[in-house]
Structure 1
């Protein structure tokens, strides 16, 4: 992939993958799939275990100290202090518990469900019985279908008749009634989703700290929102913006309380905008990467890239090698520019006597071709001419022989 190393990689508990990720991308955070771990609770633990309390502790606690305190309280109460599997899972808590990993952006993903979804998608087109060529053909067909659906969805989003266009077709009085009703409904839904209580704890020249209580499913969840006055930045203890990329309801409630009408641009990531696909894709050197539809050009580019990489590795061994390669590359660049401008190859690359002629490759038979199925008539003709077993003539067989008729 072009660009920097990924910020996070989510896999299951595989030791070989863990070693490979640590060696190849050491700066990438390796997270364990939380789904693969939580589904084992019912198998590894007895039925009397407090799985409901474990689930609430894992998903609903954002503070690290509070999580560890609640975890130890549950295993002490359930008598699972010496359970080997629980101890091993707790030792790996920094790799899968949300309280430890929400500070890294992952677009809200905590499991390998995206990979499993890709597997389920491609299984509709590919099977293990496909040959290599069948696999490539079916894979490209699956990608083309997926891209077609994506283009169709983008077209609907861009050209469908929105509610704003619907207001233009109404008269003024009906439009005002409809708009007022829509805003009232939106405000009711917003107030139901936002926390119900906010308390100012600290307010000085540098920052302001709010205590936000959220009532959800009969339980109260308390978070802490900090406003840095110097950098004009909001941050919540739930790490919603850092982990998902969208401001949480706790920060939105305080923005509404401060009567901020527009959300700052720094809280709207480019990946969520409609113009996310309109930008240029660049490599690590800042060069634009263009999509190429010709597979032959991609193969040539890959072959020449490997050759250039090997030449550069040999040239780096000495200063003379670097100077020689730089001079040759400059000369080659000038020659290629003249060639692209329409100058003949004889003037650019020397005489035409250096041209190499290639012969046709040897023809080989197809090893996988099956034999042609022959018809019944063709099979009978190949066996030869039949003779009557009674009289020896070829015009009939023993069932139609005159001698047999006279005998009967």
Structure 2
């Protein structure tokens, strides 16, 4: 591969007996893609311990369509500090020592794992069904860190779980898995439990536990070709087909013209949720508080979520608007974590009759009109054209 293209990067590590211990490789297309999408990456070694029992690790990012994009992979001998240190230092060498802003590891699966383990861990709890629902609500429905801390403590005391070791360990690690601790950081949708393609599934259908090393490399090339074709097709669709607007807002047209189709559809999901959002009139105290900071308007937006035919939830979000510079912020932090404006801010935009939004909310990483170097890079039969 390197003979075919000198931009192809690989490195290997030998043990004390001069046997192959670790090998990492990065395709030129992955190196080019990282120049655009180095904000957040996921590192996963699930193949090593779960499905295929292969010592295989992947470093994956998210492209402008919200698709997974491979940024490097490795065959490793152990899951220990020295191995991971070698792997990350070598990978950074391939990426010109440009560090990602945020990184997820397979340990970041703790949230989903915790939810899956709830039924087993709460078996001895009185009113078991109610406890399971309450636990999920504590995790997903806490709008602030203070609210999460309060809800967690009340839940533990209510169900007599003060000495539950599993819960205690989860609580100690809360800053690494509870959504409210993570939503101030941009994750490009990676930490969403609704994400359609899990990181460790990148090569599903291409390799299995019987794959030889030769077959593995061949299947790796096929997998890369297929993934690239999906991105090329998404590029073509975004540039040659139009997703119709669902509202009369001029700012929706801004998103329509700027964003790739898949990301624009996510924007439209927020527009649909607007209809369940209502502005709560501020109290006299709230007006006085807002008057203390000229130029800043504070609004409370109530969102009603219909869970099913008989159960509804109501959440109240705090939205700020600065007319000077047209800044918005919401304590749901959707824009900060996913790069898409939330329905609560959109509801306020409607109230203020804002026609066009500031370009800062049209993130480059989601745009379809950006010429990206990696988009011109093809991966075919081990060659880079």
Q: How high is the TM-score relative to the length of structure 1?
A: 0.55
Equivalent residues of 2:143, 2:180 under 8 A apart: yes
Structure 1 residue aligned with 2:115, among 38, 41, 55? 38
Structure 2 residue aligned with 1:144, among 218, 225, 234? 225
Distance in 1 (alpha carbons) for counterparts of 2:241 and 2:141: 39
Structure 2 residue aligned with 1:205, among 288, 294, 317? 294
Structure 2 residue aligned with 1:68, among 146, 149, 152? 149
Structure 2 residue aligned with 1:214, among 292, 303, 311? 303
Which secondary structure state, in structure 2, belongs to the residue aligned with residue 129 of structure 1? coil
| Equivalence for 1:79 | 160
Equivalent residues of 1:63, 1:99 under 8 A apart: yes
Which secondary structure state, in structure 2, belongs to the residue aligned with residue 225 of structure 1? strand
Q: Please list the CA deviations of residues 60-99 of structure 1 after superposition, one character each: whole Å capped at 9, or x if unmatched.
A: 1121111111111111110111111101101111111111
Question: Mean alpha-carbon deviation: is it higher for 216-225 or for 234-243?
Answer: 216-225
Which secondary structure state, in structure 1, belongs to the residue aligned with residue 329 of structure 2? strand
Q: How high is the TM-score relative to the length of structure 2?
A: 0.58
Q: Which runs of 5+ in 2 are unaligned?
A: 1-30, 50-78, 90-98, 246-267, 307-311
**Aligned residue-pair number:** 267
Distance in 2 (alpha carbons) for counterparts of 1:115 and 1:163: 23
Question: Mean alpha-carbon deviation: is it higher for 50-59 or for 39-48?
Answer: 39-48
Q: 1:127 aligned to 2:241?
A: no
Q: 1:279 aligned to 2:372?
A: yes
Distance in 2 (alpha carbons) for counterparts of 1:233 and 1:210: 14
Distance in 2 (alpha carbons) for counterparts of 1:137 and 1:11: 21
- Measured on the aligned residues, the alpha-carbon RMSD in Å equals 3.9
Shift of 1:256: 0.8
| Equivalence for 2:355 | 261
Structure 2 matches for 1:308-327, cutoff 5 A? none
Structure 2 matches for 1:239-388, cutoff 5 A? 239-276=333-370, 278-280=371-373, 291=377
Change (3 A) 1:242 1:140: same
Shift of 1:17: 6.9
More RCO (CA 8 Å, sep 6+): 2
Which structure has the larger Rg over C-alpha atoms? 1
Q: 1:107 aligned to 2:188?
A: yes
Distance in 2 (alpha carbons) for counterparts of 1:36 and 1:18: 26
Instruction: Judging by fraction of residues, say which structure has more helix.
Output: 1
Distance in 2 (alpha carbons) for counterparts of 1:111 and 1:191: 18
Distance in 2 (alpha carbons) for counterparts of 1:40 and 1:47: 14
Shift of 1:258: 0.6
Equivalent residues of 1:10, 1:110 under 8 A apart: no
| Equivalence for 2:275 | 193
Q: Please list the CA deviations of residues 374-404 of structure 1 after superposition, one character each: whole Å capped at 9, or x if unmatched.
A: xxxxxxxxxxxxxxxxxxxxxxxxxxxxxxx
Distance in 1 (alpha carbons) for counterparts of 2:83 and 2:381: 34
